[in-house]
Amino acid sequence: MNAAPPPSPLPTDGIPIGVYDVDALLGELSGDAPEESPESAVCVRVEEIFAPAARFLIAEELAEFLEARGITPTEFLHKVEPQRSFLDWPRRAQVLERVAQRQARPGRRSPAMRLEELKRLEQEVLAFTARRAHSGAALSIDAKQFAATVAQSMTRTPGFAGRHAIDCWLSAWLGEGRNHELRLVRILSLDGDGLSGEGIAILDQIVGEMLANGLVVEALFGWADGLRGVLDAMAMVWRGEAPSHPDAPAVLHRLSAFVARHQARAARLGLEAGVHHALLGDAPLSGTKAEPNSVAAVLDELSAISLLAARLTVKGGVIGGERTTRLIDRRVALLLSGARLEAVLHAKSHYARIVDLLAFEGAVSGERSRRMIVAHLRRHLEARDFTQRLFETARTPRARIKALADLQRRVQRSTLPDGLRERYVRMLDEIQNTFLRTNKVFARIAKDRPPHVDEVMEFASLLAEGAFTEGKCVAAARELVGHHVRSTAFLRGYLARCKDATEQRAERFAHFFATLAGAGLPMRAMNTLRVLLADDEPAARGYVEMILRDLGITELTIAQDGREALTRFEEGQGAFDLIVCDWKMPRLSGLEFLKLVRAVRPDMPFLMVTALATIIAVEEAMAHDVTAYIAKPFSPEQLEEKILVLVNRR
- Say how far apart CA 41 and CA 320 lie, in whole Å: 18
Going by DSSP bridges, is the β-strand pair 317-318/313-314 parallel, antiparallel, or unpaired?
antiparallel
Residue 42 is predicted with a pLDDT of 85
Q: What are phi and psi for residue 241, nearest 5 degrees?
A: -105, 135
Going by DSSP bridges, is the β-strand pair 578-582/555-559 parallel, antiparallel, or unpaired?
unpaired
Give the pLDDT band of residue 275 (cuts 50, 70, 90): very high
Distances in Å between the Cα of 457 and the Cα atoms of 117, 395, 465 are 84, 22, 12
Residue 650 is predicted with a pLDDT of 57
* Mean pLDDT calculated for residue range 213-228: 93
pLDDT for residue 19 is more than 50 = no
Q: What is the pLDDT of residues 244-267, one digit of tens each?
A: 999 999 999 999 999 999 999 999
Residue 177 is predicted with a pLDDT of 52
Give the pLDDT band of residue 8 (cuts 50, 70, 90): very low
Query: What is the average pLDDT score of the chain?
Result: 86
Contact 596, 566 (CB under 8 A): yes
- Listing from the earlier edge strand, what are the strands of the sheet with 530-534? 555-559, 530-534, 578-582, 606-610, 628-631
Give the pLDDT band of residue 38 (cuts 50, 70, 90): low
Q: Which H helix or E strand runs over 317?
A: strand 317-318
CA geometry: angle 300, 305, 309, nearest 5 deg:
150
Residue 41 is predicted with a pLDDT of 67
- Say how far apart CA 552 and CA 507 lie, in whole Å: 9
pLDDT for residue 134 is more than 70 = yes
Q: What is the pLDDT of residues 413-455, one digit of tens each?
A: 998 999 999 999 999 999 999 999 999 999 999 888 888 889 9
- Say how far apart CA 46 and CA 313 lie, in whole Å: 37
Residue 9 is predicted with a pLDDT of 38
* Mean pLDDT calculated for residue range 341-352: 87
Contact 590, 584 (CB under 8 A): yes
Q: Which H helix or E strand runs over 94?
A: helix 92-103
Q: Which H helix or E strand runs over 545?
A: helix 538-550
Distance of CA 105 to the CA centre of its chain: 42
Specify burial of residue 33 (Cβ count, 10 A radius: 0-12, 13-18, 19+): exposed
Q: What is the pLDDT of residues 501-537, one digit of tens each?
A: 555 667 777 788 888 889 998 777 788 889 999 999 9
pLDDT for residue 317 is more than 80 = yes
Q: Considering only CA atoms, which of 506, 490, 502 is closest in space to residue 455?
A: 490
* Mean pLDDT calculated for residue range 583-609: 90
Q: What pTM does this model have?
A: 0.63
Contact 411, 421 (CB under 8 A): yes
* Mean pLDDT calculated for residue range 614-625: 71
* Mean pLDDT calculated for residue range 173-201: 88
Residue 363 is predicted with a pLDDT of 79
Q: What is the largest CA-CA distance in the chain?
A: 128
Q: What is the pLDDT of residues 76-89, one digit of tens each?
A: 999 999 999 999 99
Q: Considering only CA atoms, which of 269, 644, 309, 283 is closest in space to residue 492?
A: 644
Distances in Å between the Cα of 150 and the Cα atoms of 52, 140, 183, 325 are 18, 15, 20, 39
DSSP 287: -
Distances in Å between the Cα of 413 and the Cα atoms of 410, 422, 591 are 5, 11, 57
* Mean pLDDT calculated for residue range 111-123: 94
Residue 580 is predicted with a pLDDT of 96
Residue 20 is predicted with a pLDDT of 39
Contact 430, 381 (CB under 8 A): no
Q: Which residues contact 213 (CB under 8 A, 6 or more apart)?
A: 59, 63, 66, 67, 72, 180
- Say how far apart CA 370 and CA 381 lie, in whole Å: 16
Contact 164, 51 (CB under 8 A): no
CATH superfamily, domain 525-647, is Response regulator (3.40.50.2300)
Greater confidence (71 vs 575) lies with 71
Greater confidence (139 vs 196) lies with 196
pLDDT for residue 2 is more than 60 = no
Across 467-501, b (16+ Cβ under 10 Å) vs e yields bbbbbbbbbbbbebbbebbbeeebbbbbbeebeee
Give the pLDDT band of residue 362 (cuts 50, 70, 90): confident
pLDDT for residue 138 is more than 50 = yes
Give the pLDDT band of residue 4 (cuts 50, 70, 90): very low
Contact 565, 581 (CB under 8 A): yes
User: What percent of the chain lies above the pLDDT cut of 90?
Assistant: 54
Q: What is the pLDDT of residues 289-311, one digit of tens each?
A: 878 778 888 888 888 888 898 89
- Say how far apart CA 152 and CA 165 lie, in whole Å: 11
- Quickly list H helices, 312-417: 321-335, 338-345, 350-363, 367-381, 386-390, 397-413
- Say how far apart CA 75 and CA 504 lie, in whole Å: 87
* Mean pLDDT calculated for residue range 10-14: 36
User: What percent of the chain lies above the pLDDT cut of 70?
Assistant: 90
- Say how far apart CA 492 and CA 453 lie, in whole Å: 10
* Mean pLDDT calculated for residue range 326-350: 83
- Would you kindly state where each structural domain of the chain is located, as residue ranges? 17-29+284-376, 51-79+133-279, 394-523, 525-647
- Say how far apart CA 255 and CA 233 lie, in whole Å: 12
Residue 372 is predicted with a pLDDT of 81
Give the pLDDT band of residue 485 (cuts 50, 70, 90): confident
